[in-house]
Amino acid sequence: MTVLQHSPNATVLALDEMRLSSQATPMRVWTVRGQTPLIPVLSQREWVVFYGALDVRTGREIALPAPTTNRVMTANFLMVLLMLFPHDPLIVLLDNASWHGGGDVQALLKQNPRLHLLYLPTACPDLNPQEQVWKAARVNVSHNHLYPDLASLTDAMEAYLAETPFNTAFLDRFTCPN
């Protein structure tokens, strides 16, 4: 994190994606003993992807729906982050998914020297604070809830992510004290 040493006010974001399905995701169901609960299921299995980035200092979540995950969508989301944080260096922590690198992302990095990507080790989702945001969002929005359509679920997820501050001790755990 050399950038953070030279620019202590740099914005540090943890980025990840989540796939949200229109299907109900029951986690716990209360029912009368001996009676099988009926859980309504939509006839179509639609889904939407959310790109999300957690500001690990403030707990602010930036999340946008997307039709899929690919290098173009990743580069577009990184461009949005650059526009939202226009002045200081931007350090983005992310996993090694194939769509987090390559053509469009590399071109964006060359055009924006204040953008720094820090790739987390493979198969270590516990290191990415954004994973905890997805977990909390699923518990509070999509688990044990049935929405009439994907648009309603997407709106509820967007509202939850925008309105909820998420606490993280990431920098406390992984930086040296002064």
Domain boundaries, the chain: 9-22+43-174
Q: Give residue-wise pLDDT tens across range 28-55.
A: 566 778 877 666 555 566 789 999 999 9
Determine contact, residues 42/22, Cβ cutoff 8 Å. Answer: yes
Distance CA 137, CA 19 (A): 12
Determine contact, residues 34/107, Cβ cutoff 8 Å. Answer: no
Q: Give residue-wise pLDDT tens across range 164-175.
A: 999 877 666 655
Residues counted in the chain:
178
Tell me, rounded to whole angstroms, the distance of Cα 69 from its chain centroid: 12
| Mean of pLDDT over the chain | 85
pLDDT attached to residue 17: 95
In CATH, the architecture of 9-22+43-174 is: 2-Layer Sandwich (3.30)
Distance CA 71, CA 126 (A): 23
Distance CA 110, CA 131 (A): 28
Determine contact, residues 64/80, Cβ cutoff 8 Å. Answer: yes
